[in-house]
Chain A
Amino acid sequence: MTTMKIVADTTRCVGAGQCVLTEPDLFDQSPKDGTVIVLDDDPPPELHRAAREAALVCPSQALSVEE
């Protein structure tokens, strides 16, 4: 079974929240400045698709998934 690591570059994040819309179990936003908080950087396999989708829709390429 493959493992995955989600890496977020908060300096690039522009707080669009597209990741949170994609998978609220994996992502949240800082209440202060809206930047991304990764809730689980080693997601279970059933959330791998959502993690890839989040990396795709993120407008600032702040998210990457390593598989």
Chain B
Amino acid sequence: MATSEMSDLRQFPVIRTCPYTPPTEYRELARDEPIARVGLPDGGWAWAVSRHEHVRQVLNDPSFSADRSHPDFPSQAPAGQKPQRLDEADRTILTMDPPEHGPARRAVLGEFTVRRINALVPEIQRIVDEQIDQLLAGPQPADLVETLSLPVPSRVICAMLGVPYADHPFFQVNTAAMIKRDTPMPERREAFDRIRGYMSDLIATKEADPPDDLLGRQIRQRRAEGAYDRRSLAALGFLLLVAGHETTANMISLGTLKLLDDPEQHAKLRADPERTAGAVEEMLRYFTIADSAVARLATADTTVGDVTIRAGEGVLLLGLVANRDPDVFPDPDAFDVERPARHHLAFGFGPHQCLGQNLARVELRVVFDALLRRVPTLRLAAGVADLPIKSDASIFGLYQLPVAW
């Protein structure tokens, strides 16, 4: 493509500066050009897809690959910092395509069914209550991110996997380094290697007598199928650990912020606990924190809307915009806990739709129910405009949320 034409393209990544309102560039794309070519940091370009219907189509079409380590996969990372090709044994379901993806996902799906996750509610409730006890016992104002948002999902995923929670500062620091967009490649790589090494050592200790936790059960199951390989299980454990805590943590912070900043919606939730599950869906839609994490690479020519996407071209699926598609969500910029919102795309769509979604839903529901009822006087201890926003991370969120009660 000619450079003169390239320079006219809107440049990605687009930085989110307001916790509530999508960036202006996003709004323009949705309005003017729902399937648009946009520029990437490495000098290349990709299609940015904004409509709900089109995002669903692409994410459910096997001719779009999720192989993030393919050299042509569209990346929003700074130039020269694209992810490297992974070794065979380090690949996970996140980057696999059919026919390989389905069986690999099914091998762990049993751990994440609605029924299994519901059975964890008492344990999750206990963890949430302990963290709120800690919050209330500490000084005011307190940082909710540190006392609640991060520890809850982190403790839950550690308990599920069988990872000692005492080690969490280690992987929290390293996960944060991996997720920050401007972490230089060598450091990102080191953080990655450290967590992976940790996971591999931990799994090694479980091999002799596999315990009754997710990793232990996977060792048994994989051995029974004659397919046990420590490195590939470490890759899965790593994925679950990383995917399972930053995301949910950011939703706890943003959801709490919105409720404290919107007394009318807050009151609706307080009035009826039955509304919490629906409110969680609305929060997921409204914030769509993993917006810039969902992309694909076309492997065959495909028509989407009025556009033919050619094999080899990259596609960014703008869930944040699609989740405010007025044809699907009337008055989309309004935050309304009573809106039916479960067809949002915050967990993606198609075969890669979030494996941990029902765990995340339950964690969020338990957190908001407990917080609203146990700390009814909770309030923001900083102006919304002053909050440190994760505009530099691929998963959107808040670095801190000062609160008092």
Contact = CB atoms under 8 A, between A and B. Distances in A.
Q: A and B: real partners?
A: yes
A3 B315 CA distance: 41
B284 to A, nearest CB: 13
Interface in A5-63: 11, 14-18, 20-22, 24, 28-35, 56-57, 59-61
Interface size class of B (residues with CB under 8 A): 20 to 34
Given A16-B353, A17-B358, A32 B110 contact: yes
A7 B393 CA distance: 41
Contact of B113 (A14, A22, A31): A31
Contact of A33 (B59, B109, B343): B109
Interface size class of A (residues with CB under 8 A): 20 to 34
B358 A34 contact: no
A57 B109 contact: no
A33 B350 contact: no
A22 B347 CA distance: 16
Nearest to A61: B60
B198 interface: no
A28 B361 CA distance: 17
B343 A57 contact: yes
Interface of B: 59-60, 102, 105-107, 109-110, 112-116, 342-343, 347-354, 357-358, 361
A58 to B, nearest CB: 9
A34 B93 CA distance: 15
Nearest to A17: B114
B60 A59 contact: yes
A17 B289 CA distance: 21
Contacts of A35: 106, 109
Given A33-B109, A33-B110, A61-B60, 10 more contacts: A14-B353, A17-B112, A17-B357, A17-B358, A21-B358, A21-B361, A28-B115, A33-B106, A57-B342, A60-B353
